[in-house]
Structure 1
């Protein structure tokens, strides 16, 4: 099976650009109700991922209680616990499953590192569950 079967295209997803501020990152994640999102650079390449926890601990570390202050801080200054590992469209299903066991989503990039979408752990589990129940 081709892993692109599970792909949610970039056009349907929320992400943060590396030039966004801490406040913009908070607002994007709040609006879309995501706990983790990919970070892309200006060329659309995958840079890493950021979580609610990363943002929360940064607010605490910098003693920011006023969101106005978060408008002057680049999201790239936020210390990230870990960046989700990505796969390419040519990756094997085993690679995808291995990453999905450790991450909520798996970023998918093209051969040049441009972000093309993601595959969620939920979609993989849903597919397996449906197959297990005898569906297609």
Structure 2
């Protein structure tokens, strides 16, 4: 099975630009009700996954940081506490299954590390469930 079958393309994915502010990230995550989103740099490359926890730790550990002034803090200055490595579009199905056990979504990149979309855990579970039912 080609993993491109499971791919949600970049145009349909809520992501945050690495050059954004905390406020922009918080508002995007709230709007979409996501607890984590891919981070993409100005060249379109995947640079990491931003989580609610990353944002909360930044607020907690930054003296005098409030929601009102999060528009002055850049995402690039927010430490990421979890490293979600992407997979390449030509990865084997076994690789994506093991990755999906560790994270809600798996970022997918091309040969130049350009972010092309995600594969959600939900689709992988549905695929595995279907395979089990056909045994």
TM score, norm. by length of structure 2: 0.93
* Superposed CA offset, 1:91-121 (max 9, x none): 1111111111111111000110100000011
TM alignment of 1:91-106, pairs within 5 A: 91-106=91-106
Bigger drift between 59-68 and 87-96 goes to: 59-68
RMSD: 1.3
Unaligned runs of 5+ in 1: none
C-alpha distance in 1 between matches for 2:127 and 2:95: 17
Change (3 A) 1:26 1:131: same
TM alignment of 1:1-136, pairs within 5 A: 1-64=1-64, 66-134=66-134
C-alpha distance in 1 between matches for 2:125 and 2:96: 12
Question: Runs ≥4 in structure 1, deviation > 4 angstroms?
Answer: none
Q: CA deviation at 1:131?
A: 3.4
* Superposed CA offset, 1:55-85 (max 9, x none): 1111111145632210100011111111211
TM score, norm. by length of structure 1: 0.92
Q: Provide the secondary structure at the position in 1 that maps to 2:94.
A: helix
